[in-house]
Amino acid sequence: MPPRRAITGRSQEPRARFAEELRALRRESGLSLREVGQAITYDFTHVARMETGESLGGPELVQALDTLYNTNYLIILWEIAQKDPSQFKLRYRRYMEMENEATSIQIHSPCVIPGLLQSADYANELLRAGGLVGNELVRQVEARIGRQEKLRVGGAPQLRAIISEAVLRSPLQDRREWANQLRQLAGASQSENIAVQVVPLTVGIHGLTNTYVNLIRLPEGRSVAWVESGYSGELVEETAWVEKLQLSYDRVRDHALSLSDSHQLITKLLEDLPCDPVST
């Protein structure tokens, strides 16, 4: 096994350090990018993006490179780069790129209306509660609403959103804005490519009780997941972990109301909203 290189003169920024090591190992091996891709049975463009720092790749790909180069530390450098707080925005950007290519999207949301189904008013109040103000708030709301366009064009992905009943019982401060959100959600649930199911409160605690998950299917057939808390998010690409999340998702779906019962619940809550006071 080749000894580890001294890090003197190399970048101390985790992502750049990882990319530098990949480039150095390939040069020493004498292999071209295409030859590396053939050797590890991955598209060589994935390796190219990793060597330029555009992508960190997934753990299985990194382990394949460790095997090819007869090393055992690439996966360590990868893990360090993944945990670097500065990488959150880059991971999220990469996930957004994948979402735009998705053939299907499966969402579990225990606390809020999913972003792909939010009204502008809902997104505004939610993001303001998270601390955004001014131009940045406007920009983020526009970006979130803009993501929904992919659901209304030809060849739109199939979307299934499973939400907790608690989400439907956590209204906006302005009841008219909340009514608009419920109407938008009810209307979306009638679209051919959108399915909305509600998990009743009576189900109690389950495998995804406190976990927001987006599972997306990519054109090449593989799936990835975005797992999120209120303060951070993680892109999951390792097959074994994605499969575990998919299994948990399927089990929660087993407890959800049917599509028609979910739609009826949403419309009933809308009908039960108090009317605006009569102007005098």
Mean pLDDT score across all residues of the chain: 88
- Ranked by mean pLDDT, the top range of 126-135, 179-188, 267-276 is 179-188
Please compute the mean of the pLDDT values over residues 240-269 and round it to a whole number. Answer: 96
**Cβ–Cβ < 8 Å for 7, 20:** no
**Cβ–Cβ < 8 Å for 161, 117:** yes
**Cβ–Cβ < 8 Å for 211, 95:** no
Judge whether residue 91 has pLDDT over 80: no
Question: Residue 55: which residues within 8 A CB-CB, separation 6 or more?
Answer: 46, 49, 94
Structure tokens at 250: 């399927």
| Domains along the chain with CATH numbers | 14-83 (1.10.260.40), 87-272 (3.30.870)
Return the percentage of the chain with pLDDT > 70, whole number: 89
pLDDT tens per residue across span 152-198: 888 899 999 999 999 999 999 999 999 999 999 999 999 999 999 99
Judge whether residue 3 has pLDDT over 90: no
pLDDT tens per residue across span 217-232: 999 898 999 998 766 7
Judge whether residue 10 has pLDDT over 90: no
- Ranked by mean pLDDT, the top range of 59-63, 106-110, 228-232 is 106-110
Judge whether residue 87 has pLDDT over 60: no
Question: Closest by alpha carbon to 52, among 70, 76, 33?
Answer: 33
pTM of the model: 0.70
| pLDDT of the residue at 15 | 80
Return the percentage of the chain with pLDDT > 90, whole number: 60
**Cβ–Cβ < 8 Å for 190, 210:** no
| pLDDT of the residue at 92 | 76
In this prediction, residue 89 has a pLDDT band, given cuts at 50, 70 and 90, of low
| pLDDT of the residue at 274 | 79
Strands of the sheet with 212-217, listed across from one edge: 194-199, 158-164, 104-109, 212-217, 223-228, 233-236
In this prediction, residue 145 has a pLDDT band, given cuts at 50, 70 and 90, of very high
Judge whether residue 66 has pLDDT over 70: yes
Question: Residue 145: which residues within 8 A CB-CB, separation 6 or more?
Answer: 118, 120, 123
pLDDT tens per residue across span 201-215: 999 999 999 899 999
In this prediction, residue 90 has a pLDDT band, given cuts at 50, 70 and 90, of low
Judge whether residue 277 has pLDDT over 60: no
Question: Closest by alpha carbon to 121, among 178, 43, 64, 196?
Answer: 178
Interatomic CA distance for residues 190 and 69, integer angstroms: 52
